[in-house]
């Protein structure tokens, strides 16, 4: 940190959303407080128009490695090692243009905060998803009070937009857990909870943006349903999340898949998820349950 200014890196792991990513990169290029570094980790070279990064007047880098959200985010962490703050955006999260400006202000003012997350203006993950043009309109029409300093404690960060101080990450040698493969469900909670002993984890009203909840690039219904059971069980055994957090989460997911499998939403493979839930519960009873088992499923 120099003269009250933080070195901020933005990292994006992406897979199968090349067109949407272009919009996200444009919003990062237009930030009122530009990042000091932009790191993009595509699952394959085809997932990124690399020439788009030429427009950025600061350090940009492309990291390639093993496919999977946790593995890709670890590539980003390695590239951001010299930064004070790392901001992770999903490739389908559109940040308000003052997002990074507010991140810097919050970390400078709240010296005991180690992790910050925002709750989207609209979250397309809870429905059929949003088109890029609709999301851009929501950002343009956002009339939230500027500079709202309200922060509230939260159990863990929301992976579509989250920021961390790098110092405790370096001190603890933290990485995202690559035992949570592919979509890495709950990897955000797992990672942020490991920082809870170093300081506060908060939601910040000033961090605005829209999560498209794009359905392309997601894992299969069966695999996701298996992860809905296997990942919380794994994290409870690992000790990063409590049973009081994981139990209701697991129960709600199974109940929702069961109740809606008769007339599923067109954008959710409820029957596939329910099948994945069943396979995970069977493996739990037989002692075979493990997040990596989704790699053996279709």
Tell me: do 156 and 55 sit in the same domain: yes
Tell me: do 49 and 193 sit in the same domain: yes
Tell me: do 129 and 29 sit in the same domain: yes
The domain containing residue 159 runs over which residues? 8-211
Any domain includes 291: no
Any domain includes 216: no
* Residues 6 or more apart whose Cβ sits within 8 Å of residue 47: 14, 15, 16, 17, 18, 21
- Report the domain count for the chain: 2
Q: Which pLDDT score is estimated for 220?
A: 84
Tell me: do 170 and 259 sit in the same domain: no
Any domain includes 255: yes
Structure tokens at 118: 């925002």
Structure confidence by residue, pLDDT tens digits, 111-143: 999 999 998 999 998 889 999 999 999 999 997
How far apart CA 213 and CA 119 sit, in angstroms, is 13
DSSP string covering 122-174, please? Answer: SBGGGTT---HHHHHHHHHH--PPTT---EEE-SS--TTEEEEEHHHHHHHT-
What is this structure's pTM? 0.94
Any domain includes 182: yes
Q: Which pLDDT score is estimated for 284?
A: 97
H-helix or E-strand spanning residue 262: none
């Amino acid at each position: 940190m120099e003269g009250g200014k933080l070195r901020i890196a933005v990292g994006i792991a992406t897979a199968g959303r090349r067109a949407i990513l272009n919009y996200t990169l444009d919003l990062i290029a237009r930030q009122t407080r530009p990042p000091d570094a932009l790191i993009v980790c595509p699952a394959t070279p085809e997932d990124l128009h690399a020439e788009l990064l030429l427009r950025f007047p600061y350090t940009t880098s492309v990291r390639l490695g093993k496919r999977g959200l946790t593995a890709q985010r670890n590539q980003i962490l390695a590239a951001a090692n010299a930064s004070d703050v790392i901001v992770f955006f999903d490739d389908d999260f559109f940040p308000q243009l003052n997002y990074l400006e507010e991140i810097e202000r919050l970390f400078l003012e709240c010296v005991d905060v180690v992790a910050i997350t925002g709750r989207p203006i609209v979250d397309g993950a809870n429905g059929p998803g949003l088109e890029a043009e609709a999301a851009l309109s929501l950002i343009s029409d956002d009339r939230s009070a500027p500079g709202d300093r309200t922060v509230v404690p939260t159990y863990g960060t929301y992976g579509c937009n989250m920021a961390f101080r790098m110092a405790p990450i370096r001190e603890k040698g933290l990485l995202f857990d690559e035992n949570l493969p592919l979509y890495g469900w709950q990897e955000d909670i797992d990672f942020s909870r490991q920082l809870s002993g170093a300081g506060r984890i908060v939601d910040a009203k000033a961090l605005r943006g829209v999560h498209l909840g794009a359905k392309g690039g997601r894992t299969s219904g069966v695999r996701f349903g298996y992860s809905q059971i296997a990942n919380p069980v794994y994290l409870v055994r690992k000790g990063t999340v409590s049973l009081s957090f994981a139990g209701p989460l697991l129960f709600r997911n199974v109940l929702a898949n069961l109740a809606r499998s008769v007339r599923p939403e067109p954008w959710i493979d409820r029957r596939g998820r329910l099948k994945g839930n069943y396979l995970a519960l069977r493996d739990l009873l037989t002692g075979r349950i493990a997040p990596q088992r989704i790699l053996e499923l279709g």
